[in-house]
Amino acid sequence: MPRGQKKVRNIDEEIATLVKQIEKQEARLKKLKAQLASLEEEREAAELKQLHQILREKGYTPAEVIKLLENQKEEAGPAPS
């Protein structure tokens, strides 16, 4: 039984197709990374807002907390290596 003609590969077309696919995936990855960065910024803003609310409830100003933390760090000495 005769078989059909063997299809001739066009390597240049295959390369071009792969390059387009890679570019498409890189663009998608870039978009996903931007979304991730946006969500991380949103989370950080929410955490800062929560921290500020707690400080306000406890009667501390941010400057007071900074001073307290700096004093604790000085009292603790150098960080272990």
Segments making up each domain of the chain, as ranges: 11-76
Residues of the chain with pLDDT under 50: none
pLDDT at 81: 61
Contact 62, 52 (CB under 8 A): yes
Task: Name every residue whose Cβ is closer than 8 Å to that of residue 62 and which is 6 or more positions away in sequence.
Answer: 52, 55
Which amino acid belongs to residue 42? E
Whole-number Å distance between alpha carbons of 53 and 57: 6
pLDDT at 52: 93
pLDDT at 75: 82
pLDDT at 8: 78
pLDDT at 2: 61
